[in-house]
A and B are shown apart, each in its own frame.
Chain A
Amino acid sequence: METILAILGLIVQYGLFVILFGMGFFVGGYIEKRHYKDIHRRERELLHLPAVSMSWKALHQENAYQVPVVEARMVYGSVVLSEDYFKAFLLALRTFFGGRIVAYETLIDRARREAILRMKAQAVGADIIVNTRLDTSTIGGGDVKAKTTKSIEVLAFGTALTFQKQPDGAA
């Protein structure tokens, strides 16, 4: 009788952890894989609209970019991504032993690329986005000890330029 109670106690104590752990591993992994697939597809579609980190002055020195600009406007895109339970566990493990945390590298990589894609989606009809800047911040997880939502926000912003169309259609 006492052994059964002990086993029940163990299940109650660790069962929730195991369920959350498995959910984080399987569902989180699936979400990440699907997101990467989506990012790759949209990046291919938006290849004609490059986002460069140079300022317009530096770019204007080059021969290819001496066309008159007819439109300049600021575009921005942002995304808030959250870690999953499995990643949080890996982080706790890694902060103990030290070393690379690949799970968080992919998380931040996804957020940055998504933000750039959303910025590009705002720049419909433009030819190039110059002076692209990326800004990362964590929200809701100020206190390390508190078990609160840890999520990262990435903001991408830049200036979308539209060049004057050449009469012969060369540009």
Chain B
Amino acid sequence: MEQKIKMFIRNLNFYYGNVLALKNVNLDILTNHVTALIGPSGCGKTTFLRCLNRMNDVVEGARAEGQILLDGKDINSPEVDPVQIRRRIGMVFQKSNPFPKTVFENVAYGLRIDNPYVKAELTARVEKSLRDAALWEEVKDRLNDRAFELSGGQQQRLCIARALAVEPEVILMDEPASALDPIATLKIEELIQELKKKYTIVIVTHNMQQAARVSDYTAFFYLGELVEVDRTEKIFTRPGLKKTEDYITGRFG
């Protein structure tokens, strides 16, 4: 199968003020594949993820150098509107963050931004997004309930549905299952397998087994550097570097 590069990252340095948080990161993210980012806390995985949809623009004193290409176009070039980038690259946060609105309004939020949908079309798209996030059966009778009333796992899938609704091309997930029980986690993992048929996925995870289960490629970050990236089964069976092996076998981290 021919593999297309969705995002192409070269020589990425990232600073918080004077602190260098990412050092010379190079990575290709392949279309319709799941790329997992692993590494100990504070190694820069989340920072890297937030570079990919320019979410770090919001952070004071943050600055990126180098190239991040989305379909060959630099997302950091001055003529690019970060709002458009975020429309194409969705994000699911570590702590599920439903808005204090109803289930329906949460999913419809992104759709309403600049499209005055007619009611029927909006309803259809909300339903489709909830189906794609494997949540529809559980909430179809609860669309007008407040999102906070859902369980933790449902809330996280609601956030995924909300991200899917605007039909992004890439979905960034920042430890989407870290606060969930094993069953809810399993559901999210199954969902990721389903989603990669249509989307390109980048997922940060602390859970080694999760990375092994869901991803096609795994990138190991350590102290702001991308140490090693390869096919997931290779990283977890025959890692190229001692440091990677030490981390995945639990010798440090």
Q: Do A and B come from one complex?
A: no
